[in-house]
């Protein structure tokens, strides 16, 4: 079972983009497959199950192929700070998977003095995907996404309500709904593959400046790769460093 339940996101793939990705050379595809095979064979845990999961300390890593029309995806993991997937997805519309590392907290926002996360990733150069935090408040009642890197024709739910500069980072903020709960998305102005995010300051801005929430519980922090399409070729996504803390 997915915890919490994933939600459908507006993600579109252009015909031109599909044609371009279909032209990837066999050499590049073969190289990607060799790298994945090496990583997976040396990993502590490997599974291609749709709902595969691996627990490491206070974290759980999920394969989470939840979207309609998903392809094949293999999860490998050594720890919450060293894991990845090899994903082969058709370049059709809609998110296919959200491979992620998840940690639960259960602390009210006004009781928090700190909530931060550090990450580092290696990502493919093509495809339709984003690396993103998925932060859940009040169980799974409110969803907050922080987009760190994106490729291809993907976009967040909702409409832009302007830009936010906070802690030296500039985000475009989107407000929308997945039909069940509100979704607030923060998309970085420039892609990054590593860094530190002050989650608490973002949540305080949502509460104190915008009034989007009122002392919600920080329930779960997830980080991973929301994959919509890889041109039906194997693409490798990996986390090489990670931590999420709140107190």
> How would you write the pLDDT of the chain (247 residues) with one tens digit per residue?
334 444 444 333 332 232 222 333 333 334 434 444 445 669 999 999 999 999 999 999 999 999 999 999 999 999 999 999 999 999 999 999 999 999 999 999 999 999 999 999 999 999 999 999 999 999 999 999 999 999 999 999 999 999 999 999 999 999 999 999 999 999 999 999 999 999 999 999 999 999 999 999 999 999 999 999 999 999 999 999 999 999 9
**Residue-range domains of the chain with CATH:** 15-246 (2.60.120.180)
CA–CA distance, 169 with 85 (Å, rounded to integer): 28
* Contacting residues for 239 by C-beta, under 8 A, at least 6 apart: 81, 82, 83, 84, 101, 119, 120, 121, 223, 224
CB 148 within 8 A of CB 119: yes
Where helices occur in the chain by DSSP H, the ranges are 15-22, 26-42, 199-204
Give the DSSP per-residue string, 69-119. T--EEEEEEEETTEEEEEEE----SS--EEEEEEEEEEEEGGG-S-EEEEE
CB 242 within 8 A of CB 101: yes
């Amino acid at each position: 079972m997915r915890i919490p339940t994933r939600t459908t996101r507006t993600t579109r793939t252009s015909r031109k983009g599909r044609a371009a990705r279909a032209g990837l050379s066999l050499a590049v595809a073969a190289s990607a497959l060799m790298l994945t095979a090496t990583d997976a064979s040396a990993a502590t845990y490997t599974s291609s199950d749709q709902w595969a999961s691996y627990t490491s300390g206070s974290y759980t890593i999920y394969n989470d192929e939840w979207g309609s029309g998903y392809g094949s995806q293999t999860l490998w993991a050594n720890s919450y700070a060293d894991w990845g997937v090899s994903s082969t997805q058709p370049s059709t519309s809609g998110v296919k998977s959200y491979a992620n590392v998840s940690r639960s907290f259960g602390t009210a926002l006004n009781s928090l003095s700190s909530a931060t996360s550090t990450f580092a990733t290696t990502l493919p150069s093509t495809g339709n995907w984003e690396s993103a935090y998925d932060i859940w408040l009040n169980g799974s009642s409110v969803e907050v996404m922080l987009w760190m890197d994106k490729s291809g024709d993907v976009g967040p739910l909702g409409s832009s309500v302007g830009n936010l500069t906070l802690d030296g980072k500039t985000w475009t903020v989107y407000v929308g709904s997945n039909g069940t709960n509100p979704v607030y998305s923060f998309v970085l102005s420039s892609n990054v593959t590593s860094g530190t995010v002050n989650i608490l300051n973002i949540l305080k801005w949502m509460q104190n400046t915008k009034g989007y929430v009122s002392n919600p519980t920080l329930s779960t922090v997830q980080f991973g790769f929301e994959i919509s399409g890889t041109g039906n070729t194997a693409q490798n996504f990996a986390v090489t460093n990670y931590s999420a803390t709140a107190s």
